[in-house]
Chains A and B, each alone.
Chain A
Amino acid sequence: EAGVAQSPRYKIIEKRQSVAFWCNPISGHATLYWYQQILGQGPKLLIQFQNNGVVDDSQLPKDRFSAERLKGVDSTLKIQPAKLEDSAVYLCASSPRGSSYNEQFFGPGTRLTVL
């Protein structure tokens, strides 16, 4: 079974530029999560989708971050414009459904460096 795919793996941009990350979850998984992991910290949830609807985006900086999950499968996370403090690894995870019981399966992440 294929795991969670993410691209690109690495991205370097200058502040005020825009960037987009892509995630393809495990086939059949209804729930998709985007986490931000700053160096030396644990991942922090940015947004959670259940199929193509947003369940929780309370910690998403909506003035600069946006995310969508069209057709309930792939998802993209965009930052526009980027700030220095956005330098982090962006992890995508999926689970069969949005239950606190379910383990989440994580992708390899996209490491973003903002100069």
Chain B
Amino acid sequence: AQKVTQAQTEISVVEKEDVTLDCVYETRDTTYYLFWYKQPPSGELVFLIRRNSFDEQNEISGRYSWNFQKSTSSFNFTITASQVVDSAVYFCALSEARGGGGTSYGKLTFGQGTILTVHP
């Protein structure tokens, strides 16, 4: 069965600090997709990034960067020069290509989430 672990329950930083959110996953599938979603106080989950299991290139998008390491089953997310608007709950999620039995495609398994608070 697939599992996603976000060990950091809460992180508090001061504006302009860099912060890294950890994500470790478990899956028996060789083809899978990893996602990060942001959940601001409004409650709506906002898609940030998708990475497939065959692409271990790191990605940078503005102040956001992601480090995918298959050898350690990790998909960490770094925010550089954090801002108050980054305050939210961040979720890492996993989707198996074969759906863990072939009956469900696109099902996301989420981690517990990390609450990030950025203080001015």
- Where the two chains meet, the residues of A that have a C-beta atom closer than 8 Å to any C-beta of B are 3, 31, 33, 40-45, 48, 55-56, 58, 89, 91, 93, 95, 97-109, 111
Which of A93, A99, A104, A105: most chain B CB closer than 10 A? A104
B105 touches A98 (CB 8 A): yes
Partner of B97, one of A3, A43, A58, A100: A100
User: With a CB–CB cut-off of 8 A, which chain A residues contact B99?
Assistant: 56, 100
A42 touches B43 (CB 8 A): no
Q: B76-100: which have CB < 8 Å to A? A: 91, 93, 95-97, 99
B52 touches A101 (CB 8 A): yes
A37 to B61, CA, bound (A): 28
A55 touches B108 (CB 8 A): no
A100 touches B44 (CB 8 A): no
B110 touches A44 (CB 8 A): yes
Which of B4, B35, B95, B107: most chain A CB closer than 10 A? B107
A58 to B104, CA, bound (A): 10
A106 touches B45 (CB 8 A): yes
B108 touches A56 (CB 8 A): no
Quick one: closest B residue to A110, CB to CB?
B43
User: With a CB–CB cut-off of 8 A, which chain B residues contact A55?
Assistant: 103-105
A107 touches B104 (CB 8 A): no
A111 to B47, CA, bound (A): 21
User: With a CB–CB cut-off of 8 A, which chain B residues contact A89?
Assistant: 43
A111 to B35, CA, bound (A): 24
Question: What is the distance, in angstroms, from B11's C-beta to the closest C-beta of chain A?
Answer: 15
